[in-house]
Amino acid sequence: MTETSMDQPIRRVVIAGGGTAGWMAAAAISRILGKHVQVTLVESEEIGTVGVGEATIPSLATFHRLLDIDERQFMAAAQGTIKLGISFEGWKTGQDRYIHSFGSTGKDHWSAGFQHFWLKGRERGLAGPYEDYCIELKAALADRFAHVNGQPLNYAYHLDAGLYAGFLRAFSQAHGGRRVEGRITEVLTDPDSGFITALRLERGEVIEGDLFIDCTGFRALLIGQTLGVGFEDWSHWLLNDRAIAMQTTAVRDAVPYTRAIAGKAGWQWRIPLQHRVGNGIVYSSAHLDDEQAKAEFLASVEGEVIKEPFPVRFRPGRRLRCWEKNCVAIGLSGSFIEPLESTTIHLIQRGIVNLLRSFPQVIRQVAIDEYNAQLDSELTHVRDFVVLHYHATERRDTPYWDYVANMPLPGTLQHRIDLFRETGTVFHVPGELFAENSWIQVMLGQGIVPRQRHPAPDLMGDAELGHFLGAIQRHVDEVTARLPAHMDYLRRYCPAAPPVRP
């Protein structure tokens, strides 16, 4: 072995590709390990990025706290707004709406979750809709938000992906990260070990490294094309394989939630930022041709067009191994699960954090195996949660909806659905992204009603149960009523400057 081997100390980290994935990796590694390793990111201005992962989930706030990123600075730079959840419109019957919020609902007892007490209350005519018992959900419906002392709301962000990458680029460079401009024309490997040794650029420059991070998107230039790691296709569960994205001017104040609007053969997103709206349609090309999708999409958007529609083709699934030899795939090079639950940036973050936690002095296969096992588990969990939205539906109005409603499910998902339908019970495995309340909100919203419940609420009489539920509902209403309008608050907290892209 000449340049790189299993015993080569990790001193040079080379990131292939920029965008959100590349610059998140560069920001985290340079901030946490910048005094130990040299971080170099290679990207070409000639190669575009997908750049449509503009809705996030609360884990991004945790990522920023780990890196000591100031929230006000980040939100102002990325034209950010607050996200308290996702409004799912038309997913159950075509005419319905529910919100999957980021908050907790009601109060659990050690013996049984709140949903059992709510179910008992519904039986006795003592309970309102499930949404009445969650502050984040009621605040989303009322278009309200603030940072509240003693009663913090659980929230995420809407952000401009291009501006966010630029913000992280400056952050990384301030902590010693180095950017190299250039198109990668060759990936050099060691003839004995097969490890990657360097990237050759179009102008002849050679960037050597000890650990390489593949952020080249769907091309998977390092992990796929060079190291030959295969891809597991999930398109039999996730039919959508195309998207069209477009930016428009805002015609009203931003609401604190993402909209996911079900269509004939897919769905559309609406992501409101301070200065514009991100719009898109995600669909199955086997059920809707590109021109029909574009026409349906353009007929529904509001505001003036800022950036013309641009198409994205993708294949849902995951790389068989996201860490192979001395290469780690982060972002689209490693996996893609459509953006229905805004997990794209989270999965980037999870890959980075797991890498930092297991960062090697020298590479060992046992560490690679553990990294891959943890990421596989997370990807399976996220996949199942997204598939749930399609399968648990009463819609049969198009061949698309008929197929997803009747398709065989992964065993892991079928078990969760059967358990909730039969017993009203959900479970959370430590480390999983989506907690019990997320599964409950979506399953109830999609029409899965438990056939039985836990007997613990039967120990409460009607008066006691009514008081218990009523006190929670009044507290939710009182907190929500004290919150200011979402955009009024943001105009004071983090007014966005005019967009300046790197």
Residues labelled as active-site residues? 83
Could you give the CA distance from residue 381 to residue 428 in angstroms, rounded to a whole number? Answer: 11
Those residues whose C-beta lies under 8 Å from the C-beta of residue 415, and which sit 6 or more positions away, are none
Could you give the CA distance from residue 210 to residue 39 in angstroms, rounded to a whole number? Answer: 11
**Residue 394 and residue 94 in contact, taking contact as beta carbons nearer than 8 Å:** no
**Residue 18 and residue 154 in contact, taking contact as beta carbons nearer than 8 Å:** no
Could you give the CA distance from residue 242 to residue 113 in angstroms, rounded to a whole number? Answer: 39
Give the CA count within 13 Å in the CB-facing half-sphere of 492.
8
- In which residue are the tokens 């394989």 written? 241
Which among 392, 402, 398 is positioned nearest to 440, based on CA atoms? 392
Q: Please classify residue 297 by burial: count the beta carbons closer than 10 Å to its beta carbon, then call 0-12 exposed, 13-18 middle and 19+ buried.
A: buried
Q: Is 79 left (phi over 0), alpha (psi -120 to 50) or beta?
A: left
